[in-house]
Structure 1
Amino acid sequence: MTTAARPTPAQMPRRLPTPAAAEAPTLDGRPAHRQPWERAILASSLSGNHRFVAIALSTHADGRGHFARQPRVMGLVHNTGLHAGQVRVALAALVDRQFLRRTPATGPIDNADLTLTLPPGALARARRAHQATTSRSTADV
């Protein structure tokens, strides 16, 4: 009993790449107010570095979620003390999770204009988390 040799990648049939799945449309693309946005960030399951970059970014926003002067990646590097690559990854994660909208939507994030946005359901999760912590702190008293 002999076994056939395993095929190499060069011997495999060529396939056309599958088209990327269409992104789910955002329900609300309007800018988010800064304070609820910060609560939603803190209640999210983002990693610590991503939340740190998000809060540092929000300090540059006005109350309505707009930036008068975009902080850019290097500004966030100076604010957070993280490496530029870490800041880029955090910003990309925030865009993917719909906490940020960037204009233009393609191209490097270094020069994109950012706007704070709330993904669907994030505000409700933040309210539940806030109520849970508030009820625990009043129960201790």
Structure 2
Amino acid sequence: MTTAARPTPAQMPSRRPGTPAVQETPRPPAHREPWQKAVLASSLPANFRFVAIALSTHADGTGHIAQQPRLIGLVHNTGINARQVAVALTALCDRGFLRLSPPGGRYDTADLVLTMPRGAAARARRAENRSNTDA
């Protein structure tokens, strides 16, 4: 009695044939104040949060950034090395706090859009409620 060899993950198709690829729906811009609270309540390292808050100072109340600071502007605003700012922006994009327009663009040419990751606003509210009850 022999059994057929099981296929490895590399041999499996990336998706079911005939099904469309899942496209990520763009999230709307986040309002600046809740976005800042969510960033500050996150577990991001301090210098990443610093870059995020520096970026948010360029946004209006609705989270739109009319005058894009780009990478060099954030370097001047924060005094942090360009590579470190780029790493911080990458972490913010990976966590869902930022989106590049166009997607896959470079930080020195693409527009940055503030976005609110799922659950971040609720975590920020819980953290704020805990700090209010401690006072």
Partner of residue 54, structure 2: 56
Partner Cα separation in structure 2 for residue 100 and residue 66 of structure 1: 11
TM-score w.r.t. the length of structure 2 is: 0.81
The alpha-carbon deviation at position 25 of structure 1 amounts to 3.8
Q: Which has the larger radius of gyration?
A: 1
Partner Cα separation in structure 2 for residue 19 and residue 79 of structure 1: 47
The alpha-carbon deviation at position 101 of structure 1 amounts to 1.0
The alpha-carbon distance between structure 1 residues 47 and 23, as it changes in their structure 2 partners (threshold 3 A), is farther
**Does the residue aligned with 1:114 lie in a helix, a strand or coil?**
strand
CA offsets, 1:69-120, max 9 Å, x none?
A: 1001111101100000010110111111110111111132221101111000
Partner of residue 45, structure 1: 43
Partner of residue 17, structure 2: none
Percent of aligned positions that are identical: 61
Partner Cα separation in structure 1 for residue 36 and residue 80 of structure 2: 20
Count of aligned pairs between the two proteins: 119
CA RMSD of aligned residues (A): 2.2
**Structure 1 segments unaligned to the other structure (5+ residues):** 1-15
Moved over 2 A (4+): 22-26
Partner of residue 99, structure 1: 97
The alpha-carbon distance between structure 1 residues 64 and 136, as it changes in their structure 2 partners (threshold 3 A), is same
The alpha-carbon deviation at position 19 of structure 1 amounts to 9.5
**Structure 2 segments unaligned to the other structure (5+ residues):** 1-9, 15-20
The alpha-carbon deviation at position 23 of structure 1 amounts to 8.5
* Matches for 1:2-21 after TM superposition, within 5 Å: none
TM-score w.r.t. the length of structure 1 is: 0.78
The alpha-carbon deviation at position 24 of structure 1 amounts to 8.7
The alpha-carbon distance between structure 1 residues 47 and 113, as it changes in their structure 2 partners (threshold 3 A), is same
**Does the residue aligned with 1:110 lie in a helix, a strand or coil?**
coil
Partner of residue 8, structure 1: none
The alpha-carbon distance between structure 1 residues 108 and 122, as it changes in their structure 2 partners (threshold 3 A), is same
